[in-house]
Chain A
Amino acid sequence: MTTRELGRPSIDYVGLLARFAAPLFLLFLVVLFAVLEPRFLHPLNLMNILRQVSIMGLVAVGMTFVILTAGIDLSVGSVVALAGLVGAYVAKGGLDDRFAVGAAAAAGNPVILAVLAAVAVGAACGAMQGAAITRLRVPPFVVTLGGLTAFRGLALIFSGGGPISGFSPAFVWWGQGRIYGVPVPVIVFALVAAVAHIVLRYTRFGLWIYATGGNSAASELNGVPIRRATFSAYVIVGLLSGLAGFILSARLNSAEAVAGLQLELDVIAAVVIGGTSLFGGIGSIFGTVVGVVLIGVLRNGLVLMNVSSFVQQILIGLILVLAVAVDQRAALRRS
């Protein structure tokens, strides 16, 4: 027997199953809900699902970068709140008329400034944490756990305890508007996911993210700027959390310090269900989008069937563990 024959890999069924487990399960859920509850497949309901998950999805796209580097960001929910408040503050041009509606609400700064402010605040939060992780070498879990409480505290101080609400129509459009019937947040999510997919799959920076998560010591020896790649991943998740915070305030027509509470759990669940390994180096934006939509479909379908939200939480938890279990089996088989 030649080494060529020995070297040929046999078909890795468990690996294949793991790779397509999330899309297959999503398909299964869609069919199941469609059969059990005809309203589920109504185009308006489907749009509604996408609209509901798009804000979480934006953050999940950023989280994918971080988890691919073998990191984690627990602070995203707090960043969403802080950035949303700052964006609202800038849109209003101050806190004097924090509840103003109608003509008064139209006063203040252009919406684009609010967007930029929210995104900048998010990116700054990410940069601070990224610097602590790459320069001070504090583990990401600890740094972002600190960020989770610190940024929430900042948001509470900044808001002075109350919400900022009643924005101009141009502001609210970002959360409630539609283009050809498609909600604006869905379009933003789709665009961001598409760009992120291209970056991760086709660019050198994307390769550096995968390499850093796969084997950071080896990557560094080969000249990959692992610190820059890691730092950038936290800036990206911060930036997208900032954008998500802005869109959330636009959708609710209100920015609050308690926005995005426990968002990190949903986001990490979506990314992991989508097949991205918490050990880094393996995963994709496609998987994350599937994970995000899967959580949305599950919630929506269960609501339509009058299943309590408590049961929903149990099911999402179970699916999360199951997803990782399938992944581990596949990893064991490969090694």
Chain B
Amino acid sequence: MAPVLELEGITKRFGAIEAIRGIDFAVEPGEVVGLMGDNGAGKSTLCRIIAGTFAPTTGTLRLNGHEVHFRRPSDAREEGVEMVHQDLALCDNLTAALNVFLGREITFGFGPFRFLDRGKMQARAGELFAELKSETRPGELVKRMSGGQRQAVAIARTRLSEPKVVLLDEPTAAISVRQVAEVLELIRRLRDAGIAVILISHRAPDVFAVCDRVAVLRRGEKVADKPVGATSPEEVTGLITGAIEYA
């Protein structure tokens, strides 16, 4: 199958720091890829480039075979790339529903005068939370929510559109066992809908439970990229730490 997303020679420098270096990477529709690596290996940086948070220093990005240049996250969103950020990117002072719809508010009105349709957003957010089996009240302030509820709010955003690629940056880091199961179940449902999923995780059990393939980054370089069936948690751990040079 033709890949939905292709990266070629992606490098990102922050001043003197080279966060990622010469990354080639591709994902097919309905494929779940685990992205693993130590702290600071460059996982978030790579995903942020795909999601349009910032542009790569060098390299090209292709969606469905067409080269794309995202100037901001909303550009990526329009092309069907959704990302759940590591820090969830929530506004604590807003309700769950408003956070879900932030930047894509349902409005009515005329010309530049856009009034919020709170009722519709509240109802839709409620449906999404129910779909995620999360007990999150749409009208409640995010500030008062538990880690899992906050996670659900951030994940619910990816369900607003019909994305081609969903990037999840450590979605299971801060939540309970039961909620981890829900997130993994959600990833499977995304896959079944033909959506490509990139899952950043430190937890090998999660990756081996849902991913078709695992890629390992070490100090900004891709040191492995293989089907989960062809590797093991032990090998991946070795690759992450550098005990195994390359696989």
List the interface of chain A (C-beta within 8 A of B).
3-4, 7, 9, 202-207, 210-211, 213-215, 217-224, 281-282, 334-335
| Per-residue interface assignment for chain B, residues 143 to 178, with 1 indicating a CB less than 8 Å from any chain A CB and 0 otherwise | 110100100000001000000000000000000000
Q: Is the CB of A7 within 8 A of B91?
A: no
Contact of A222 among B102, B109, B114, B140 (CB under 8 A): B102
How many A-B pairs have beta carbons closer than 8 Å: the answer is 83
Take A204-B116, A205-B114, A223-B103 as given contacts and tell me if A214 and B91 are in contact as well, using a CB distance cutoff of 8 Å: yes
Contact of A223 among B73, B91, B94 (CB under 8 A): B73
- Name B86-109 residues within 8 Å CB distance of A: 87-94, 98, 102-105, 107, 109
Q: Is the CB of B53 within 8 A of A203?
A: no
Take A7-B135, A223-B72 as given contacts and tell me if A218 and B116 are in contact as well, using a CB distance cutoff of 8 Å: no
The CA-CA distance from A223 to B16 in the complex, in Å, is: 29
Residues of chain B lying within 8 A (CB to CB) of residue A218? 85, 87-91, 102
Residues of chain B lying within 8 A (CB to CB) of residue A4? 135
Residues of chain A lying within 8 A (CB to CB) of residue B88? 218
Q: Is the CB of A334 within 8 A of B143?
A: yes
List the interface of chain B (C-beta within 8 A of A).
53, 72-74, 77, 85, 87-94, 98, 102-105, 107, 109, 113-116, 135, 140, 143-144, 146, 149, 157
Take A203-B114, A282-B93 as given contacts and tell me if A223 and B77 are in contact as well, using a CB distance cutoff of 8 Å: yes
In the complex formed, the residue of A with least CB distance to B104 is A223
Residues of chain A lying within 8 A (CB to CB) of residue B103? 219, 222-224
Q: Closest approach, in angstroms, between the C-beta of A112 and any C-beta of chain B? A: 24
The CA-CA distance from A158 to B135 in the complex, in Å, is: 62
Q: What would 9 more interface pairs be, CB under 8 Å, given A204-B116, A215-B89, A222-B157?
A: A9-B144, A204-B107, A205-B114, A210-B93, A211-B91, A214-B93, A218-B88, A222-B73, A223-B104
Take A211-B102, A223-B72, A223-B74 as given contacts and tell me if A204 and B115 are in contact as well, using a CB distance cutoff of 8 Å: yes
Take A4-B135, A207-B98 as given contacts and tell me if A221 and B73 are in contact as well, using a CB distance cutoff of 8 Å: yes
Take A222-B102, A223-B77 as given contacts and tell me if A7 and B93 are in contact as well, using a CB distance cutoff of 8 Å: no
In the complex formed, the residue of B with least CB distance to A3 is B135
The CA-CA distance from A206 to B114 in the complex, in Å, is: 10
- Would you give 6 A-B contacts (Cβ < 8 Å), ordered by A? A3-B135, A211-B102, A214-B94, A215-B93, A224-B102, A281-B93
Take A210-B94, A211-B94 as given contacts and tell me if A221 and B113 are in contact as well, using a CB distance cutoff of 8 Å: no
Q: Is the CB of A203 within 8 A of B116?
A: yes
Q: Is the CB of A215 within 8 A of B77?
A: no
Q: Which of A210, A214, A334 is most buried by chain B, counting CB atoms within 10 A of its CB?
A: A214
The CA-CA distance from A4 to B144 in the complex, in Å, is: 14
Residues of chain A lying within 8 A (CB to CB) of residue B144? 9, 334
In the complex formed, the residue of B with least CB distance to A334 is B143
Contact of B92 among A214, A223, A224 (CB under 8 A): A214
The CA-CA distance from A205 to B113 in the complex, in Å, is: 9
Q: Closest approach, in angstroms, between the C-beta of B152 and any C-beta of chain A? A: 12
Q: Is the CB of B143 within 8 A of A221?
A: no
Residues of chain B lying within 8 A (CB to CB) of residue A223? 72-74, 77, 102-104
Q: Is the CB of A204 within 8 A of B85?
A: no
Residues of chain B lying within 8 A (CB to CB) of residue A214? 91-94
In the complex formed, the residue of B with least CB distance to A280 is B93
Q: Is the CB of A215 within 8 A of B92?
A: yes
Q: Is the CB of A204 within 8 A of B102?
A: no
Residues of chain B lying within 8 A (CB to CB) of residue A335? 143
Residues of chain A lying within 8 A (CB to CB) of residue B89? 215, 217-218, 221-222
The CA-CA distance from A217 to B85 in the complex, in Å, is: 11
In the complex formed, the residue of A with least CB distance to B136 is A7
Q: Closest approach, in angstroms, between the C-beta of B140 and any C-beta of chain A? A: 8
In the complex formed, the residue of B with least CB distance to A277 is B93
The CA-CA distance from A19 to B183 in the complex, in Å, is: 37
The CA-CA distance from A219 to B73 in the complex, in Å, is: 11
The CA-CA distance from A207 to B90 in the complex, in Å, is: 14
Q: Which of A207, A217, A282 is most buried by chain B, counting CB atoms within 10 A of its CB?
A: A207
Q: Is the CB of B102 within 8 A of A219?
A: yes
The CA-CA distance from A217 to B53 in the complex, in Å, is: 11
Shortest beta-carbon contacts, A-B, top 7: A223-B103, A214-B93, A223-B74, A214-B91, A218-B89, A222-B103, A281-B93
Take A207-B116, A213-B93, A215-B91 as given contacts and tell me if A7 and B146 are in contact as well, using a CB distance cutoff of 8 Å: yes
The CA-CA distance from A159 to B77 in the complex, in Å, is: 53
The CA-CA distance from A217 to B92 in the complex, in Å, is: 12
In the complex formed, the residue of A with least CB distance to B118 is A202
Q: Closest approach, in angstroms, between the C-beta of B71 and any C-beta of chain A? A: 12
Residues of chain B lying within 8 A (CB to CB) of residue A202? 115-116
